Structure 1
Amino acid sequence: MTPAPRAVLLDLGNVLVFHDNSLLFRRLGAQAGLSPAEAERRLSGTGWTAANRGLLGAEGIRRDVCGALGVDLPAEEFNALWSSHFTVHEAVLPRVEGLVGRVKLALLSNTNVLHAAFLRPRLPVLGRFDHLLLSCEVGLVKPEPAFYQEAVRRLGCAPEEIAFFDDLPEFVQAANALGLRGHVFTTAEAFDAQLKALGL
């Protein structure tokens, strides 16, 4: 029988929080007098990856997004709008809380400085994680192997001792290729069943 994992590595978006990108494009478009589809099209070429790698700070993100949309929103208004599409996934939090102290816990997320600043105070459980690996702070993004390898290094476990949960199958496949025990996250109930199957 395979022993239970010593560590659990979690994604942020659509795991601990939901993000409704269509709502974000609708709200940004409304500010610029554009359709949601046009707002999405204009933003598809902007520096998402640069922001996620930490190459753009808060002001750089505001300038890039506003420039692409042809509007100029003050920082306070922009920052609120930019993170207005998140809701905390309340159903999963008790299950995550239940892992504290039983395994090493870490977060592995592609995110930018504004979203990280918005979400940290809304997820107090993150303060009980052993490690938070945010792409904008580490300078790496999933599915780059080096990002997963940095998580393995910080957790101090062998890859096969780490269970990884992400909503995107390609990110799970990248983890599996490095020897982690990757699982596609779908619902809080399925997560519960996956943890039980792992002996957690």
Structure 2
Amino acid sequence: MSPPPRAVLLDLGNVLVFHDNGLLFRRLGARAGLPAAEAERRLAGAGWTAANRGLLGAEGIRRTVCEALGADVPAEEFNALWSSHFTVHEEVLPRVEGLVGRVKLVLLSNTNVLHVAYLRPRLPLLERFDHLVLSCEVGHVKPEPSIYQEALKHAGCEPHEAAFFDDIPEFVQAANALGIRGHLFTTAASFDAQLEAMGL
């Protein structure tokens, strides 16, 4: 049996917070006078990766999305809409809190500056993480090896000494390919069982 991991790397979306993209498209579509499906179609290539890489700041995101939707939404209203699909995953937070001080705790997330600004004050637990590796700050995105290596650097451990949890199988597979112990995150209960199986 392997020893317990020295570091736990956690995804943000659908792990610490839920994001309902369908709700986001409905709300943005309604604001632009479009059906949700049309809003989703128009936004399919609207700078998501550029925003996640930090190539678009807050105003760049607003402009890109508004242009795609054919609507001019003022910044304050847009920022609220853009993050209106998040809810905190309250059930998982105590288990993550229990890892503080026992392992290196690193967030590893594909995200953009507006979502970070919205979620930080709503997730005070993030302040207790050892490091936050945010794609919009480091310029790399999952599943690129470089962003996992960035997380390992801040965790101060070898790949096999780290466990990684994400809700997207492709990102878990990319971690496994680097020798990290990747696990698919599904529910708070299964996360608890996975940690216990690793000796945490």
Q: Secondary structure at the match of 1:8?
A: strand
Q: Which residues of 2 match residues 126-141 of structure 1 at below 5 A?
A: 126-141=126-141
Corresponding residue number in structure 1 for 2:125: 125
Q: How many percent of aligned residue pairs carry the same amino acid?
A: 82
CA distance in 2, matches of 1:19, 1:119: 11
CA distance in 2, matches of 1:169, 1:68: 29
CA distance in 2, matches of 1:6, 1:168: 23
CA distance in 2, matches of 1:155, 1:147: 12
Runs of 4+ in 1 over 4 A off after TM superposition: none
CA distance in 1, matches of 2:68, 2:149: 35
Q: C-alpha root-mean-square deviation of aligned residues, in Å? A: 0.4
State the shift of 1:74 in Å: 0.6
**What are the ranges of 5 or more consecutive residues in structure 1 without an aligned counterpart?**
none
Corresponding residue number in structure 1 for 2:61: 61
Corresponding residue number in structure 2 for 1:15: 15
Q: Secondary structure at the match of 1:132?
A: strand
| 1:88 lines up with 2:85 in the alignment | no
CA distance in 1, matches of 2:71, 2:142: 31
Could you list the per-position Cα deviations for residues 16-52 of structure 1 after superposition, in whole angstroms to 9, with x for gaps in the alignment?
0000000000000001110000000000021000000
Amino acid at match of 1:191: F
State the shift of 1:154 in Å: 1.4
Q: Is the 8 A contact 2:7 2:104 kept in 1?
A: yes
Q: Secondary structure at the match of 2:179?
A: coil
What number of residue pairs does the alignment pair up? 200
CA distance in 2, matches of 1:69, 1:15: 29
Q: Secondary structure at the match of 2:8?
A: strand
TM-score of the superposition, structure 2-length normalised? 0.99
CA distance in 1, matches of 2:103, 2:195: 12
**What are the ranges of 5 or more consecutive residues in structure 2 without an aligned counterpart?**
none
Corresponding residue number in structure 1 for 2:40: 40
State the shift of 1:155 in Å: 1.0
